[in-house]
A and B are shown apart, each in its own frame.
Chain A
């Protein structure tokens, strides 16, 4: 039996979507020794304390370069980043874009709760327009980023979206992402029960897609929901391609 428990007291809010993500991830770990999780700072990143696998609890915004460095050092490891919209769409967005472009052979799981939660509710690049946070009491006037569109433009070789209330869907998607050779990006829509509880909004709109067969179809599905509007919200794998990986190529040059 793999012992994945740390017995560390869990401090997520009751009903938080993170519990589902933790459960889904634990269930798909097949080789504990070769798994490394690299986390940001924020509610999502507390997962490092809650799961007994190799972990590097990185700085805010920086888990992605840390993860690439780990992969460069040992290509046999499965390196999985847990980050949030605050960590990787705000503080560390450059690292997200460049790791995708390099096709760094890591998996990035972005818990998108669409605000800074641990700092008690400020807007991020993913917050809905009009969001009233503590730094925007009159309402956020910026348009939210379409995360998947950003990843498509950044040349991510695997792009997927899932939802924290759908455990089986998360398991399937995360497993596919980890098995993908190259940069895999998984956005998990995750309601924040304390500051932005959009469970009902998501429940009414999400639907599962079949994997698109053309890039045109991928782009169409990625654009279906603009993170503001009232449209349906597609879940699933939107795009996948085979491309040379950053760490493998660099290590090849060094002949290591």
Chain B
């Protein structure tokens, strides 16, 4: 089995992340499956950042603890990670910064100086030397560099050529004949999923780890035909997209926990005014500022109860880039079908990691219920299923939407009978939302489906959990939707299970709490709250003890 792990590390500003991506693209060209985990600190220059690139023949969704190759742009990378290098592993390092007997020392500073290139290009020398040492053909390296570098390509190629020719080949990693797929981060998949379901307007305030959705959409505004703007704060962002949806355009915003806290008044507004809006909450560690560039799954209960008042909102959580793509499309369509806020709950590990992207099918925009233009338009007209046809300002309808309780026309209401009548209308809609869950793929099962021992997880934990259950021959259950809770599908998935273990990246067992509310008892909990994701090795070790 060809399956190896490469760590590229250095200070912020040395280009270790770009180097990781280039290495991933090289092996992607050679037909391998790819995953990149990013670890970085909350600083601009200095510190210690690293990417872990896993390359494998088999399909997988997470990185590993043990390393086959280390590319150390600085000495700290060597000091911090050398102990995880496998016996037959290889380290490539900057010989001016690191003193060691093993591996390949490159005087990259001198190399860069000789060719009068900027220091940051040292990362290209290191990639190139690594490529040669594992037998990557020059033509593949050259092609990837040309695709990935958008500045000073000639100089970079000069450095690459020099490092390539000055390195000896140690081993030969063979090309595979499998089909190449696209590589995408979770955030890019979320953005693309929404675009394919008809996204037209995006507004957000920067917050790690959701920011790259803003960057990706801003970069591709013209291609996607999405109007992208940055708001003065998250409160503005959500009210802005609610305005856009009211005026008839499909809209989305994204943030992390702290910003999501500010957005909750808007989520409540969406419920009362019955305005469709997709909100992405990409979790990072909290409470408060927490550990800003690291992950965790501590906002489940918060998301399920987000927004003051008495209402139901769709909350779904993807486990990989394909699910992120699928669910952002589903949630945007559901927002418009049910004229309601929907929440895509993800986390740093999914948002910023790079995955193989090969969704089963393309998302598409599903039509919303529109006014038939007969008679007087009433924004909140009573209906059997609680859903009132939509009309938009600028047409012949007078469209009155409101944060107040209201009558059918959208005029403020305080009368006790009317208040009950309108809440009943929304309650009927919530019932329909519950029925909708049964029609969707809301719970997934992996591993040995006959096993009476199962683990249950949500969100990005899926990656390590899936690999662990495959190794241990047990079952994995993953709810994609968490509100309304897919109880029918969950009960089906739990059939035959007599030992249920929950796995979550939080300290209080929030999924277990949700399950308890549904009458499902978890026998054991595996919780991790160092703000780093599980690897499958971690999980296998822990599961073996249970």
Contacts and interface: CB of A to CB of B under 8 A. Distances in A.
A113 B224 CA distance: 45
Contacts of B239: 58-59, 62, 65-66, 69
Contacts of B400: 48, 54-57
Contact of A57 (B233, B398, B404): B404
Contacts of B398: 32, 52-54
A254 B227 CA distance: 5
Nearest to A41: B403
Contact of B236 (A98, A255, A256): A98
Interface stretch (B87-95, B242-250, B334-342, B495-503): B242-250
A59 B269 contact: yes
Given A57-B402, A74-B248, A254-B227, A66 B396 contact: no
Interface in A74-102: 74, 76-77, 94-95, 97-98
A102 B259 CA distance: 22
B12 interface: no
Contact of A69 (B221, B226, B240, B394): B240
Interface in A34-82: 34, 36, 38, 41, 46, 48-49, 52-59, 62, 65-74, 76-77
Interface string B376-413: 00000000000000001111111111111000011110
A113 B232 CA distance: 27
A72 B240 contact: yes
Would you call the interface of chain A mostly helix, strand, loop, or mixed? helix
A159 B237 CA distance: 25
Contacts of A46: 412
B291 interface: no
Contacts of B394: 33-34, 54, 74, 76-77
Nearest to B218: A253
A69 B251 contact: yes
Given A70-B244, A70-B247, A253 B399 contact: no
Interface in B407-433: 409-412
B243 A256 contact: no
A6 interface: yes
B201 A72 contact: yes
Contact of B200 (A41, A70, A76, A256): A256
Interface string B222-262: 10111111011101110111111111110100000000000
A56 B411 contact: no
B203 interface: yes
Contacts of B246: 56, 66, 69-70, 73
A28 interface: no
A98 B404 CA distance: 26
Contact of A68 (B235, B243, B248, B409): B243
A121 B266 CA distance: 27
Interface residues of B, number: 50
B265 interface: yes
B222 A6 contact: no
B189 to A, nearest CB: 21
A45 to B, nearest CB: 10
A62 B270 CA distance: 13
Nearest to A98: B232
A48 B400 CA distance: 8
A33 B377 CA distance: 13
B227 A256 contact: yes
B228 A66 contact: no
B410 A55 contact: yes
Give the residue among B226, B228, B237, B242 with the most A Cβ atoms within 10 A.
B242
Interface string B30-59: 000000000000000000000000000000
B411 A8 contact: yes
Given A48-B402, A57-B412, A66-B240, A73 B201 contact: yes
Given A41-B403, A59-B403, A69 B242 contact: yes
Interface in B63-110: none
Contacts of A62: 235-236, 239, 265-266, 269
A48 B242 CA distance: 17
Contact of A250 (B229, B247, B410): B229
Interface string A241-254: 00000110011011
Interface of A: 6, 8, 32-34, 36, 38, 41, 46, 48-49, 52-59, 62, 65-74, 76-77, 94-95, 97-98, 246-247, 250-251, 253-256
Given A54-B393, A56-B400, 19 more contacts: A48-B402, A49-B412, A55-B410, A57-B400, A57-B412, A58-B239, A59-B266, A59-B269, A62-B266, A65-B240, A66-B240, A66-B242, A69-B242, A69-B245, A69-B247, A70-B244, A72-B249, A74-B392, A254-B226
Interface of B: 200-201, 203, 221-222, 224-229, 231-233, 235-237, 239-249, 251, 265-266, 269, 273, 392-404, 409-412
What 6 A-B pairs have minimum CB-CB distances, sorted nearest first? A69-B243, A73-B247, A57-B402, A54-B393, A69-B240, A66-B243
21 contacts: A6-B411, A48-B412, A52-B398, A54-B398, A55-B401, A56-B246, A56-B402, A58-B269, A65-B243, A67-B243, A69-B251, A70-B244, A72-B243, A73-B200, A73-B244, A253-B227, A254-B222, A254-B224, A254-B225, A255-B222, A256-B200
